[in-house]
Amino acid sequence: MASNAVMEETLQVLKDHKLRVTPQRHIILAYLVSHHNHPTVETIRDGLGKELPNIGSSTIYNTLNTFVDHHLVVELQNGDGSTHYDYFGSPHYHAICTNCGRIVDVTYPGFSDTEKSLEKKTAEISGYMISGNHMEVYGLCPECQIKLGIKPNDNEK
Ligand code: ZN
Ligand code: MN
């Protein structure tokens, strides 16, 4: 169950985006805001078993698509064949493990400036009117480096 603060915040987010507030939307958004696990539809359904016991995968999927359309949530592919979802309230990007599919959030001071410069350059070069970006960086996570017997030195060429 999401905290009262999260419930209030998500209610406001729905209103700000002119989205009709339904219990499904409110509870699913609150789940995404309070979990940083980049869940699939199935993970969300399992996680909301107590709050929304009768909710079907297709309702969750449709709700998520509405959030994606409003740029509240991003879709992520990590190579495991399913789509993962992430509330995108604050700027960050993802490091995705090409071996196990693990997705972690990454940000650092100045990342917003990097994004802005990327968008500005893209507009200049392509002539596109930019609406947003989403960066993903691929590699092997620390656990997989150990599992695969790769020494940290192997990275230093
Ligand atoms: Zn991994
Ligand atoms: Mn994320």
pLDDT in tens, 103-131: 999 999 999 999 999 999 999 999 999 98
Ligand nearest to the CA of 143: 1
On whether the CB atoms of residues 105 and 36 are closer than 8 A, the answer is yes
Rounded Cα–Cα distance for residues 104 and 144 (Å): 14
Distance 37 CA to ligand 1 centre (A): 15
Distance 125 CA to ligand 1 centre (A): 35
pTM of the predicted model, to two decimals? 0.83
Q: 138: helix, coil or strand? A: strand
Q: Is the pLDDT of residue 17 over 80?
A: yes
Query: From start to end of 2-153, where are the E strands?
Result: 73-77, 83-87, 93-97, 103-106, 136-139
> Which residues neighbour ligand 2 (ion) by CB within 5 Å?
86, 105
Distance 81 CA to ligand 1 centre (A): 16
On whether the CB atoms of residues 130 and 123 are closer than 8 A, the answer is yes
Q: Write down the pLDDT at residue 151.
A: 75
Ligand nearest to the CA of 99: 1
Q: Write down the pLDDT at residue 97.
A: 97
Rounded Cα–Cα distance for residues 138 and 140 (Å): 7
Q: 68: helix, coil or strand? A: helix
Distance 99 CA to ligand 2 centre (A): 18
